[in-house]
Amino acid sequence: MMYIWYNFTDSNFEVLNKEILKLAIPNIISNLTVPLLGIVDLAILGHLESEVYIGAIALGGLIFNFIYWGFSFLRMGTTGMTAQAYGRKNNEEISLLFFRSTIIAIAGGIILILFQTPIEWFSFLVMDGSNEVEKLASGYFFIRIYAAPATIGLYALIGWFLGMQNARYPLIIALVVNILNIVLNYIFVFKFNMKADGVALGTVLAQYSGFILGLILFFKQYKSYLKCCRSFKKIFNISDIKKFFRINKDIFIRTVLLIFAFSFFTNQSARISDTMLAVNTILLQFFLVFSFFIDGFAYAAESLVGKYYGAGDKLNLKLVVKKLFLWGFHISIPFTLVYLILGKSFLNVFTNNNEVISETAPYLFWIAIVPLVTFAAFLWDGIYTGATATKAMRNSMIIATLIVYLPATYLLTHLMGNHGMWLALMLFMASRGISLFVFAKRNVYL
């Protein structure tokens, strides 16, 4: 207690607190706009004459979730590298990273458009749906795929802004994109009598509007960085490009394993029973809500750790890590209490099926401990991204997935059923937090 109190009264505490909150709060709000858009899309299509339209965007949206989650490395890598250059006050490197990440993002989006047919073919090969749903989902896919350059371009822009310690611009972009998306979806569906294709078109227009807005905001505040580098030779310097992709390759592997772990969890749930799939899908919503909040602080970690790591500021680097964990711990406690006390009441928000509610109730304990078990893994991800210690982050995920999670799932599910599934998932998240803590001395601290 004395140790914690000392840190609370530290002379740098107020300054660091303000820096953390200045970055975390806008990121939390930005994160919360994502599920809001999904809820509105479902509400719009849910008022049409057939449920197949909901199935179409659910299936089509799943394809894009996998594609864009795979490209999320670009945002994380850009944030970490830009924050370090910002800490070193290396304006030329900051400028190079802006051009490099944006060009690579747009190129990646164009490649997705060029290969849209094989992507669509493979996606529907591994997913099941009725013929009508798959036909509508295919139409949705072939429209929305044209948003790829803007969507991935936004990852680069938002990552760069966060690296520049600016969470306000990403918040503005998120609000504009999602509000515009909702308005356009409503207009196309109800005014122009479009269906799932109207939702896809609304998304495309909103994404390009957001990307253009991001460029306008860049020119408004950061135009001076254009003068720092006008050389394509420097932008595409081979050694720098190799470093850029090496860092992002490790984040990509880490992200793929994370997607695999949660997809495997869902698939194993389905193998138990349809009811258990519904139960675990609902329970995962509680998990996601907490993740939206704690990710705000993880994003702040990327920006601040990167800045202090780049500046070689050992004192503030260690101090900001401590403060981030204090915030994470103190946020997880009220979440745990709310989930523990009100979890059963919240079930009615997700379903009115009494059978599903009664089947879900015995597993609410696992949701109650999620915040305390998982907050460290979320924060360490942000810290390691800021320090660009991506190899260690990748290795931690490999250990957690292949050595802990998969064996635990097979063993514990056989012994404990769905309780074993949740225990394995908690061990997965806890092992990530523990291994990243162990690796931190050699990979994070200067």
Last residue of a domain, one of 175, 202, 236: 236
Give how far the C-alpha of residue 14 lies from the chain's centroid of Cα atoms, to the nearest Å: 28
Round to whole Å and give the CA distance between 82 and 162: 8
Helix H segments across 47-167?
Answer: 52-70, 73-87, 91-114, 116-126, 131-144, 148-163
Any domain includes 3: no
pLDDT at 27: 87
Asked whether residue 211 falls in the same domain as residue 260, the answer is no
Q: pTM of the prediction?
A: 0.85
Any domain includes 17: no
Q: How many residues does the chain have?
A: 446
Q: Tokens 């915040």 identify what position?
A: 371
**446 residues of the chain, pLDDT tens digit each:** 333 334 444 556 677 888 888 888 898 888 777 666 665 666 666 566 555 666 666 667 777 877 887 788 888 889 999 999 999 999 989 999 999 999 999 999 999 999 999 998 888 787 666 677 778 788 888 999 999 999 999 999 999 999 999 999 999 999 999 899 889 988 998 888 887 788 889 989 999 999 999 999 999 999 888 876 666 777 777 888 888 888 889 998 998 899 889 888 877 887 777 677 778 877 888 888 899 899 999 999 999 999 999 999 999 999 999 999 999 999 999 999 999 998 888 877 666 667 777 888 899 999 999 999 999 999 999 999 999 999 999 999 999 999 999 999 999 998 998 999 999 999 999 999 999 999 999 999 87
Closest CA to 86 of 21, 159, 160, 163: 163
Helix 196-222 × helix 13-46 angle, to 10°: 150
pLDDT at 128: 60
DSSP conformational letter for 220: H
Round to whole Å and give the CA distance between 251 and 72: 9
Dihedral sign, Cα of residue 75, residue 402, residue 297, residue 68: positive
pLDDT at 150: 95
Q: Tokens 């059978």 identify what position?
A: 355
What does R_g of the chain's alpha carbons equal in angstroms? Answer: 22
pLDDT at 4: 39
- Sorted by sequence, the CB contacts under 8 Å of residue 175 that are 6+ apart come out as 29, 30, 33
Any domain includes 371: yes
Asked whether residue 323 falls in the same domain as residue 361, the answer is yes
Round to whole Å and give the CA distance between 308 and 89: 11
Q: Tokens 């709310």 identify what position?
A: 338
Asked whether residue 121 falls in the same domain as residue 201, the answer is yes
Any domain includes 166: yes
pLDDT at 186: 86
- Residue 122's identity, in one-letter code, is F
Any domain includes 408: yes
Round to whole Å and give the CA distance between 308 and 121: 46
Last residue of a domain, one of 236, 263, 279: 236
pLDDT at 377: 96
